[in-house]
Structure 1
Amino acid sequence: MAITSKSDTEILQIAIPMIDHVVKASNQRNWSQFSAYQTEQEANDPNNKASVERQWSEQKFLTSLSLDRDILGVLRREDVAMIVWKQTSTEVEGDYLAIYYLKEIDQEIKEVGFVIK
């Protein structure tokens, strides 16, 4: 069953622990934990890792993410579910839009994107 056929509640029950894990890993600048839910290809891509580590060093916001969030909704497009929320920081003022992308691949739910704007 594709993740997009699940209810919003079911998707959030899967996604929120994953998001919490990734947010904590981002705050700790821990690539192996941050990439734990990515596809094997993404997790092992040196360019992906270098890009994330560069962002961690340049943007204090990305290493001070709050675990408190206001979920705005779950969107579905083709076979990808997108969890959208208002992201804040423990050290940087302002609200940001965060989107976490999930897809079922080989009967596993994988992160196929994580964007904060």
Structure 2
Amino acid sequence: MAITDKSDQEILHIVKPMIDEVVDACNRKDWDSFSKYQTDEEANNPENRKNVERQWNESDVLTSLKPEREILGVLRRDDVALVYWKQTCDNVPGEFLASYLIKEINHEIKEVGFLVI
């Protein structure tokens, strides 16, 4: 069964621990933990790492993410499931829209995108 064939609840059960780890890794600026669920290609891409580390250094948002979140929904596009939620931060006032994209690759669930806007 493809990830997009699963119910919202099944997808959320899979993705919530992944999001927890990625949010925690952002706050600690920990590349190894942050890239844990990425595809091998992305995790080992020096340009990807450089870009993420630059964002950590330039953005108070990405390094002060609160662990609490309000899940807004799940979208499915081709073979990718996108979970989106309301994100807040410790150091920046206001609310942000965050999304986490997952895809099944070789029978493993992999992150194919993480965005906070």
TM-score, normalised via structure 1 length? 0.99
Please state whether the residue corresponding to 1:37 is helix, strand or coil.
coil
Structure 1: which 5+ residue stretches go unaligned?
A: none
2: CA distance, partners of 1:48 / 1:85: 24
2: CA distance, partners of 1:77 / 1:54: 29
CA drift of 1:90 comes to 1.3
RMSD of aligned alpha carbons: 0.5
Asked if residue 98 in structure 1 is aligned to residue 76 in structure 2, the reply is no
Please state whether the residue corresponding to 2:103 is helix, strand or coil.
strand
CA drift of 1:47 comes to 0.4
Aligned length: 117
Please list, as runs of the form range in 1=range in 2, the aligned pairs for 1:1-117 lying within 5 A after superposition: 1-117=1-117
CA drift of 1:24 comes to 0.2
Structure 2: which 5+ residue stretches go unaligned?
A: none
Question: Percent identity at matched positions?
Answer: 60
2: CA distance, partners of 1:62 / 1:85: 15
Runs of 4+ in 1 over 3 A off after TM superposition: none
TM-score, normalised via structure 2 length? 0.99
2: CA distance, partners of 1:114 / 1:60: 16
1:40-71 per-position Cα deviation (integer Å, ceiling 9, x unaligned): 00000000000000000000110000011010
